[in-house]
Structure 1
Amino acid sequence: MIRAGLLFSILSIFPAFLGWYQLWFGLTPAQEINLAIALLVSFLWVTELIPLYVTGFLVLFLELIWLLPGWGPGAPKTITFLSCYFSETILLFLGGFVISSAIRFYGLDATIARFVIKNTKGSAFLLVLSMGFATAFLSCFMNNTATAAMMLGLVSSMMKSLDESSPLRKSILFMVPFSANLGGIGTPVGTLPNVIGIAYLQEKGFQIGFLDWMTFAFPVFIFSVLILAGILYIVYLKKESSIQSIRLLQVQEEKQFVSSKKRMVSIVVIFITILGWISSDWHGVSNGTVALFPVIVFFGFSLLDLKEFRNLSWDVLILMGGGIALGKAFEETGLAKHFVTMFMLGESSQFSLFLFFSILSLVLSCFLSNTSVANLVLPITMGLPAELILPAAIGATIGASLAMPLPVSTPPNALAFSYGGIRSLEMVKIGGSISILSWIVFTVVGGLILNQLQIVDFSNF
């Protein structure tokens, strides 16, 4: 694998030194170097031959020592790429990480989950549906994989009590990871593709408010979770003995080791932050600036300690910075516009590009990580004519989070699959169905809301 990676790395860079990319694709010298860097880091992101965050650093390194020196007259300043690693978008996601850490540290996630699980009134269907909504809601603000792990951990004792062929067990193992994936689209900080997509749009001068995002995304994941519950009911739960299965449910008891006063203060801080994000269009403070509030309060007043600060996902922020820097190079060199012209995408309508890029991201995300897909597809959308960028970018961003047919499609899928008792073919059937149906919900319901909000214009198909 390492030898193959080194071979591909050499093959992706070698033509750029000989000017072959210029000859083959009609590129400028800067575009040629940009393409070589993009091919190399895309391969590394997809294969994870080296850690993803190291690839994020590699993007900046190559842009500074190769792209800028080879650019010639008119080259941008180094700050153009350096700023990508601590931009408004990075601050927004940092605030999301801190809130996620506080939710976990003070047991707020487990409290919500226990309340939901204990109030299902003996119905297997209500249990599965409630777990789905609880997981999806938590995934709006927490890491999808961490949310899925926490929810499955809470009912792990039940997993051992039920036979591997139990319809309820299978339903939970499908509901939790799929709803974690779906819930991630609910807010701008819910999943990495959302943040990456928003970062690219902000670079182009497009602003989508926190509330506007939730207005179209919340109905999409709510309807999708309902549809998923319906599928699981038809396939598994219709013949399940609810009372017998629920009797086997044993929820781990909560162990409270934190100050109730600090816990209440944390809830208030989280609530104020979310309220600040939602109302950013009214008070005029950017979402990135609002995101500094929980960072300062939680660590400044020792609600979270230095250990929690060190445990924040700094590697993910570097990965995001690398993706944003790569997209910035696509924009600055004009490579994105070149590809758009080459494939004649600029002649399409807003709606057709909305569909095209959402399908493209969904298909690619079946086999690649949604973050890799966002980093690959979104730079191309930035080369479209100004009026086409927004619908194409939103389609590509959300489409990357809707793919879940395979155990390798998302980390939550792989986690659920590791519990055993579900076959790959079963995941393909259930995951493939909800991927298609959630995409339909997104394009119909989400598209309609986006059009009503006048964020996009689908009047001309």
Structure 2
Amino acid sequence: MSLSKKYQVSVNRQVTMIRAGLLFSTLSIFPALLGWYQLWFGLTPAQEINVAIALVVSYLWVTELIPLYVTGFLVLFLELIWLIPGWGPGAPKTITFLSCYFSETILLFLGGFVISSAIRFYGLDVSIASFVIKNTKGSVFFLVLSLGFATAFLSCFMNNTATAAMMLGLVSSMMKSLEESSPLRKSILFMVPFSANLGGIGTPVGTLPNVIGIAYLQEKGFQIGFLDWMAFAFPVFILSVFLLAGILYIVYLKKETGIQSIQRIQVQEPNSNHSRKKRYLSILVIIFTIIGWITSDWHGISNGTVALFPVIVFFGFSLLDLNEFRNLSWDVLILMGGGIALGKAFEETGLAKHFVSLFMLGDSSQLGLFLFFSILSLLLSCFLSNTSVANLILPITMGLPTDLILPAAIGATIGASLAMPLPVSTPPNALAFSYGGIRSLEMVKIGGTISILAWVIFTLVGGLILHQLSIVDFSNF
């Protein structure tokens, strides 16, 4: 196909998507203008408008017809010009929705972004990865397992896509020396993206669903400490990475006979353009921040406030420059703000409680909802982005009775990050798939297996730890 024809096909596809978007938006808004949602579902005028807004922005989040952060702005725009004016008596003030875009949770993730930027800027990620790769001692299994843990650990604080890209880049020279059918090459291409996905659940700042879930819980007055989160999430991802390595050994690595490829591995050396003093100071700031997050329950300073420390120190003392500040993922923060604002509307209008009563979820047990929402999130995230799934499901959990909110929200939050059977399931999956040499069916088999096993570990091990910490109560089935 010629370049002009490819361009024409791309334009036609975009036009078709725009038309579909306009049609869906019209079909979503039109019933609200005529009061049909009130008639069909017994909603109030505010809830009816809320439904229309939720349908429109959910469609845009799922299809990415416009950039996700623009949809984040659209949520606020529609709430300010349509929801509040159409609310009637008792309408909330505009600050109710405006504050969602610079909340405690947004500050927490901003601090995570700055730490991630510093790790990359000073080559700390490369140092960790290089150390791991150089000390694999000639074992293909140990190499793959070490890559998995290095990737997962970095993903606890860095964007999982960036982590996967960096780790694959470090071993790309070795993969070029391997045939596409090589068991070692396939194992690396599965281990890196899947470990990046699993590592994201390890800390509250590891991945967007975590932050979105914590934001919703904080709105309801629930506080899960950084250390409490790590207490149940770390064992889950550590055991899952071990299991993943075992699966890859059984399926691929036990067939690998030669280890000369490991000896030819070339790793990128850390950037030495920065002074040692600044590098060591950056490490101290990162460690101090992490300790501050872990000990927040003891010193009483909120995680969002602690997150301001690296922001102020890194930029105030020129450890990071203005370009790094501009390059922070502000679009992601706006996207998160939009999700939080949509959830706030669900809470304020009472729409979440209406859905809960409609589907009779309020009569379920904590364990039942924990399992139900984790499975629902996992299944949806196989085909949709985990961020979109979190934004779609978490508002519904907020309408549950108070004692049921926490287990349902945690299940929905973690479940959204455990789905990885398809190339489209997560960006790291798509990145690894683009290297070639692995087929979709192979990814379905390996990714589907580890998704199921990771869910089992989460529900059994993670659930037990949550129960032992008295965060949830699974004593009544």
TM-score when normalising by structure 1 = 0.99
Aligned residue for 1:32? 48
SS state at 1:285 partner: coil
1:294-321, CA deviations, whole angstroms, 9 ceiling, x for partnerless residues?
0000000000000000000000000000
> For residues 395 and 448 of structure 2, what CA distance do their matches in structure 1 show?
27
Check conservation: 1:405, 1:432, Cα contact below 8 A. yes
User: Which of the numbers 259, 263, 266 marks the counterpart of 2:275?
Assistant: 259
Once the 2 structures are TM-superposed, how far is the Cα of residue 239 of structure 1 from its aligned partner?
1.8
Once the 2 structures are TM-superposed, how far is the Cα of residue 248 of structure 1 from its aligned partner?
3.2
Check conservation: 1:29, 1:71, Cα contact below 8 A. yes
Once the 2 structures are TM-superposed, how far is the Cα of residue 247 of structure 1 from its aligned partner?
2.5
Matched, 1:306 2:322: yes
Letter in 2 for 1:75: A
> For residues 265 and 73 of structure 2, what CA distance do their matches in structure 1 show?
46
SS state at 1:14 partner: helix
SS state at 2:259 partner: helix
> For residues 241 and 107 of structure 1, what CA distance do their matches in structure 2 show?
34
Aligned residue for 1:156? 172
Once the 2 structures are TM-superposed, how far is the Cα of residue 209 of structure 1 from its aligned partner?
0.2
> For residues 204 and 258 of structure 2, what CA distance do their matches in structure 1 show?
37
1:116-166, CA deviations, whole angstroms, 9 ceiling, x for partnerless residues?
000000000000000000000000000000000000000110111110000
Structure 1 residues 134-213: aligned runs within 5 Å: 134-213=150-229
Check conservation: 2:174, 2:261, Cα contact below 8 A. no
> For residues 302 and 184 of structure 1, what CA distance do their matches in structure 2 show?
29
In the TM superposition, structure 1's runs of 4+ consecutive aligned residues that sit over 6 Å from their partners are: none
Aligned residue for 2:59? 43
> For residues 381 and 288 of structure 1, what CA distance do their matches in structure 2 show?
23
Aligned residue for 1:400? 416
> For residues 323 and 365 of structure 1, what CA distance do their matches in structure 2 show?
16
Aligned residue for 1:391? 407
Aligned residue for 2:147? 131
> For residues 255 and 272 of structure 2, what CA distance do their matches in structure 1 show?
38
Aligned residue for 1:102? 118
Aligned residue for 1:76? 92
> For residues 138 and 144 of structure 1, what CA distance do their matches in structure 2 show?
8
Once the 2 structures are TM-superposed, how far is the Cα of residue 242 of structure 1 from its aligned partner?
4.8
Check conservation: 1:370, 1:401, Cα contact below 8 A. yes
Gaps of 5+ in 2: 1-16
Aligned residue for 2:332? 316
Gaps of 5+ in 1: none
SS state at 1:225 partner: helix
> For residues 202 and 211 of structure 1, what CA distance do their matches in structure 2 show?
16
Once the 2 structures are TM-superposed, how far is the Cα of residue 58 of structure 1 from its aligned partner?
0.2
Check conservation: 1:102, 1:304, Cα contact below 8 A. yes
> For residues 172 and 309 of structure 2, what CA distance do their matches in structure 1 show?
36
> For residues 382 and 181 of structure 1, what CA distance do their matches in structure 2 show?
25
Aligned residue for 2:6? none
Aligned residue for 1:416? 432
> For residues 214 and 251 of structure 1, what CA distance do their matches in structure 2 show?
30
Percent same amino acid at aligned positions? 89
User: Which of the numbers 259, 271, 276 marks the counterpart of 2:292?
Assistant: 276
Check conservation: 2:384, 2:425, Cα contact below 8 A. yes
Matched, 1:63 2:79: yes
Once the 2 structures are TM-superposed, how far is the Cα of residue 253 of structure 1 from its aligned partner?
3.4
Check conservation: 2:210, 2:413, Cα contact below 8 A. yes
Check conservation: 2:122, 2:271, Cα contact below 8 A. no
Letter in 2 for 1:417: F
> For residues 12 and 242 of structure 1, what CA distance do their matches in structure 2 show?
59
Number of residue pairs matched? Answer: 461
SS state at 2:210 partner: helix
Once the 2 structures are TM-superposed, how far is the Cα of residue 257 of structure 1 from its aligned partner?
1.3
Aligned residue for 1:432? 448
Check conservation: 1:124, 1:245, Cα contact below 8 A. no
User: Which of the numbers 125, 128, 138 marks the counterpart of 1:122?
Assistant: 138
> For residues 258 and 162 of structure 1, what CA distance do their matches in structure 2 show?
35
Letter in 2 for 1:348: S
SS state at 1:180 partner: helix
Check conservation: 1:155, 1:252, Cα contact below 8 A. no
Aligned residue for 1:17? 33
